[in-house]
Structure 1
Amino acid sequence: MTLLQSLLVMALLIAASAFFSMAELSLAASRRLRLRQMADEGDARAARVLQMQEQPGDYFTVVQVCLNAVAILGGIVGEGAFSPYCTALLELWLPERQAQTLGFLASFLLVTSLFILFADLLPKRLGMAHPERVAVLVARPMRWSMRLFKPLIWLYSSAADALLRLSGLPTQRDERVTSDDILAMMEAGARAGVLAAPEHQAMENLFELDTRSVVSSMSPRDRVAYFLRDDPDPVIRARIAREPFSTYPVCEGDIDHVVGYVDAKDLFQRALNNQPISLAEEGLVRKVLIVPDRLSLAEVLEQFRQVHEDFAVIVNEYSLVVGVVTLNDVMSTVMGDLVGPADEEQIVRRDDDSWLIDGITPIADVLHALGLDELPQADEYETLAGFLMVMLRRVPRRTDSVALGGYKFEVIDVDSYRIDQVLVSRLPVPAPAGAVQAATVRS
């Protein structure tokens, strides 16, 4: 075989190896969601690639058979093509025996380098950069190859499956998409700039609805404005003016005996028409949704959907009212400041190293603001006030503090045993011992 013929065969072998390298990596790297989108848009090739991803055994068997065969042929052809020329060149300076040895090594390195660069690195980088596009382009040739090498595929696939069964390893890829997979994709999208920071946070909050208790988003008992069933007209009007809300629970005797709720729109309509307001009037007080305090926010949303309401009263295991929650409260948890009123901001950043936080702030929001993953005994409390009570093992008093996780949590204001404000400060990082000694010597 002449040198020109050998070079032509080498080029064909490298091209074949590059094709199978691209085919291998593109199928593995192709995103199923993107392929489904392409298939829905009418690309039949994307549908074929999806089928190959579901049963990739035959596909990769063809790839490995062809890659190994091409590599062996490339070594044989390359050694025969380049070794004589390398040997002849080295014989100008070296003895014949040494020149033959070094010529063989030189031809081996040359062929290996050509295959690594043009049949492995470049095609695989191309397949990684545009996996779906490459996968649909090579789908049809790969199907022809799978039909051509079907006997070999059956032989090697059967042997591989038998070995996997003997070792107890799975033979199929788990295609289930979990919430962790989706969160990881959103994190990657946020880092790439595809998702804005508020959008990313809203999506993360949405996935937390199953784990966050309704207590974390409710208005607590002491902040609930309610009416008694027998309140007279002047008392009702005064309370509306003093505490304007969209919904008011209606109680019999005290807050723990809720009989329904009244919509502020109905009260305003009567007030604007100069009609007397009486909660004993039939049809004014509506039936209220009562939910236990152990429900998650996702479960509360489902109950809102079932009864077509957006307001609920929360009770504990002793049937005592602990607070109320509205649909807006739940959406505020998801959307943050995009929905919540600015004058009720629970976390205020004072400077780079300190925050002023309301005691009833959900602990999940505190962790996010401080950049912490978790706090000790997290299953024993829902709010920052609860965290301080668990850590101190008593009702906190003003100036009480807890140092944990590189932060100091100091109680600033307490109102009737309820923690109003907590100052959270970042603790200074202790200086290394060597730096302290150096400072002492200089002083």
Structure 2
Amino acid sequence: MSLTQSLILIALLIAASAFFSLAEISLAASRRLRLRQMADEGDARADRVLRVQEQPGHYFTVVQIGLNAVAILGGVVGEGAFSPTFVQFFEQWTSPEAAARWAFACSFVVVISLFLVFADLFPKRLGMADPERLAVRMVGPMNVLITTFKPLVWLFTRSTDGLFKLLGMPLQRDEKITSADILAMTEAGARAGVLAVREQQVIANVFELDTRLVSSVMTSRDRIAWFQKDDPESVLRARIVAEPFSAYPVCDGDIDHVLGYVDAKDMFQRVLSGQPLALDQGVPLHKALVVPDRLSLTEVLEQFQQAHEDFAVIVNEYSLVVGVITLNDVMSTVMGDLVSGLDEEPQIIRRDDNSWLIDGVTPIQDVLRALDIEALPHPDEYETMAGFLMVMLRRVPRRTDRVVAGGYTFEVMDVDSYRIDQVMVTRGTASIN
């Protein structure tokens, strides 16, 4: 075989090897969501690729048969094509035996380099750039090859399946998509500029609803504005002016005996129409939805939907009222600062690059996000910044108390009747006197 014929044959072998490399990487890198979208748009080839991904054994068997066969042939043809030329070159300076050894080594390096660049690196980088589009083009020819080499495919596939079973490994790829997968995709989209950072944060907040308890976003007991059932109109007006909310629980004697709630919109309409506001003179009293304090926000949303309500009273295991929550509270958790009121003081204020001022009732998830840390000690024992300090100190915190955790120093700045108002968080582990 002449040098020209050998070079043509090597080029064909490189092209064949590149085909198999491209077929392999495009199938492995193809995203099922994108393939499903293409199939729904009418591309039948995408549906075939999806089926191959579910049972890829025959496909990859053909790929490996092709790659290994081509590699062996390439080595044989390459050595025969380049060795004579290299022998003639090296015989000018060394003995025939040494020239043959050097010629073999050089032929090996040339053939390996050609196959490495043109049959491996280039097609695989090409396949990673647009795997779905290439996979749908490759699936037809690969199906023909699977049929052609069916006996060999069957033999090698059964041998591989037996090895997998022996090792106790799954034969099929797990295609379950978890919330972590979706969050990872949105984070990648935010880094790539496809999603705005705020949009990505909203998506992350939605997935947090399953893990955040209702107590992390409720209006706590000491902040609830409520009415006695026999309060005069002057008291109602004064309380509404002092503490404007969307709903007010109506109680009998104390806050733990809730009779229902009144909607601020109903009271506003009565004021506009000149009607009295006294609770015994026609103000609509709505039945209060009561939920336990161990529910997640997702479960509270389901309760709102089932009861067709947007206001709930939260009780603990002793049937004592610990707070109230509205649908707007839950949605504000999802939307974050996109819906924060302009006159509402934020719970987390960043003072500089290394310090934050944090309200004691701030949900711990918001604290972790602001400080960019994964977790704090004993994460299952508290829901708020104040709860974290109580768990760490094992007592009610006092002003100037400090806790060091996660590479940060947490110092209590203000306490009002055992309630932690402000906590100073500083990056670094300052010494505690």
Gaps in structure 2 of 5+ consecutive residues: none
User: What CA distance in whole angstroms lies between the structure 1 residues aligned with 2:134 and 2:100?
Assistant: 43
Indicate the SS of the match to 2:209: helix
CA RMSD of aligned residues (A): 1.4
Indicate the SS of the match to 1:344: coil
CA contact under 8 A between 2:377 and 2:405: conserved in structure 1? no
Compare 11-20 and 81-90 and name the one that shifted more.
81-90
Compare 387-396 and 133-142 and name the one that shifted more.
387-396
1:15-67 residue CA offsets vs partner (Å, 9 max, x unmatched): 00000000001100011111111111111111111111111000000000011
CA contact under 8 A between 1:24 and 1:60: conserved in structure 2? yes
Q: Give the aligned partner of residue 420 of structure 1.
A: 421
Indicate the SS of the match to 2:303: helix
Q: Give the aligned partner of residue 135 of structure 2.
A: 135
User: What CA distance in whole angstroms lies between the structure 2 residues aligned with 1:314 and 1:147?
Assistant: 65
Letter in 2 for 1:247: A
User: What CA distance in whole angstroms lies between the structure 1 residues aligned with 2:12 and 2:223?
Assistant: 79
Q: Give the aligned partner of residue 438 of structure 1.
A: none
Compare 339-348 and 71-80 and name the one that shifted more.
339-348
Q: Give the aligned partner of residue 440 of structure 1.
A: none
User: What CA distance in whole angstroms lies between the structure 2 residues aligned with 1:422 and 1:98?
Assistant: 79
Letter in 1 for 2:356: W
Q: Give the aligned partner of residue 251 of structure 1.
A: 251
Instruction: Please give the residue correspondences for 1:394-409 in structure 2 after superposition, counting only pairs within 5 Å.
Output: 394-409=395-410
1:307-332 residue CA offsets vs partner (Å, 9 max, x unmatched): 11111100001111000011111111
Pair 387,114 (structure 1): closer, same or farther in 2 beyond 3 Å: same
User: What CA distance in whole angstroms lies between the structure 1 residues aligned with 2:388 and 2:113?
Assistant: 62
Q: Give the aligned partner of residue 352 of structure 1.
A: 353
User: What CA distance in whole angstroms lies between the structure 2 residues aligned with 1:78 and 1:163?
Assistant: 34
Q: Give the aligned partner of residue 229 of structure 1.
A: 229
Task: State the shift of 1:140 in Å.
Answer: 0.8
Pair 150,305 (structure 1): closer, same or farther in 2 beyond 3 Å: same
1:379-404 residue CA offsets vs partner (Å, 9 max, x unmatched): 22111111111222221222222222
1:333-354 residue CA offsets vs partner (Å, 9 max, x unmatched): 1111112324131111112221
2:320 pairs with 1:288: no
Instruction: Please give the residue correspondences for 1:354-369 in structure 2 after superposition, counting only pairs within 5 Å.
Output: 354-369=355-370
Letter in 2 for 1:38: M
2:370 pairs with 1:379: no
Q: Give the aligned partner of residue 441 of structure 1.
A: none
CA contact under 8 A between 1:348 and 1:355: conserved in structure 2? yes
User: What CA distance in whole angstroms lies between the structure 2 residues aligned with 1:14 and 1:427?
Assistant: 58
1:191-241 residue CA offsets vs partner (Å, 9 max, x unmatched): 222222111222111111111110000000111111111111111112111
Q: Give the aligned partner of residue 433 of structure 1.
A: none
User: What CA distance in whole angstroms lies between the structure 2 residues aligned with 1:112 and 1:427?
Assistant: 53
Task: State the shift of 1:429 in Å.
Answer: 8.2
Letter in 2 for 1:232: P
Q: Give the aligned partner of residue 71 of structure 2.
A: 71
1:116-161 residue CA offsets vs partner (Å, 9 max, x unmatched): 1111111111011111111111111111111111111111111111
Letter in 1 for 2:75: G
2:309 pairs with 1:297: no
CA contact under 8 A between 2:277 and 2:283: conserved in structure 1? no
User: What CA distance in whole angstroms lies between the structure 2 residues aligned with 1:121 and 1:429?
Assistant: 52
Q: Give the aligned partner of residue 150 of structure 2.
A: 150
Indicate the SS of the match to 1:255: coil
CA contact under 8 A between 1:270 and 1:276: conserved in structure 2? yes
Letter in 2 for 1:32: R
Pair 321,428 (structure 1): closer, same or farther in 2 beyond 3 Å: closer
CA contact under 8 A between 1:225 and 1:243: conserved in structure 2? yes
CA contact under 8 A between 1:328 and 1:339: conserved in structure 2? no
User: What CA distance in whole angstroms lies between the structure 2 residues aligned with 1:340 and 1:317?
Assistant: 32
Compare 400-409 and 386-395 and name the one that shifted more.
400-409
Instruction: Please give the residue correspondences for 1:32-431 in structure 2 after superposition, counting only pairs within 5 Å.
Output: 32-281=32-281, 284-342=284-342, 343-427=344-428
User: What CA distance in whole angstroms lies between the structure 1 residues aligned with 2:249 and 2:430?
Assistant: 50
Task: State the shift of 1:421 in Å.
Answer: 1.2
User: What CA distance in whole angstroms lies between the structure 1 residues aligned with 2:9 and 2:401?
Assistant: 82
User: What CA distance in whole angstroms lies between the structure 2 residues aligned with 1:216 and 1:394?
Assistant: 20
User: What CA distance in whole angstroms lies between the structure 2 residues aligned with 1:105 and 1:409?
Assistant: 66
Letter in 2 for 1:424: V
Letter in 1 for 2:271: A
User: What CA distance in whole angstroms lies between the structure 2 residues aligned with 1:392 and 1:154?
Assistant: 66
Compare 336-345 and 312-321 and name the one that shifted more.
336-345
The TM-score, its normalising length taken from structure 2, stands at 0.96
1:69-116 residue CA offsets vs partner (Å, 9 max, x unmatched): 111111111111111111112112221111111112211211111111
The TM-score, its normalising length taken from structure 1, stands at 0.94
Letter in 2 for 1:153: V
User: What CA distance in whole angstroms lies between the structure 1 residues aligned with 2:82 and 2:281?
Assistant: 103
User: What CA distance in whole angstroms lies between the structure 2 residues aligned with 1:97 and 1:421?
Assistant: 86
CA contact under 8 A between 2:409 and 2:429: conserved in structure 1? no
Compare 176-185 and 210-219 and name the one that shifted more.
176-185
Task: State the shift of 1:405 in Å.
Answer: 2.4
User: What CA distance in whole angstroms lies between the structure 2 residues aligned with 1:136 and 1:175?
Assistant: 19
User: What CA distance in whole angstroms lies between the structure 2 residues aligned with 1:238 and 1:273?
Assistant: 19
Indicate the SS of the match to 2:395: coil
Letter in 2 for 1:55: Q
Letter in 1 for 2:134: V
Task: State the shift of 1:370 in Å.
Answer: 1.2
User: What CA distance in whole angstroms lies between the structure 2 residues aligned with 1:180 and 1:195?
Assistant: 17
Gaps in structure 1 of 5+ consecutive residues: 431-443
Letter in 1 for 2:307: V
Compare 212-221 and 194-203 and name the one that shifted more.
194-203
Number of residue pairs matched by the alignment: 430
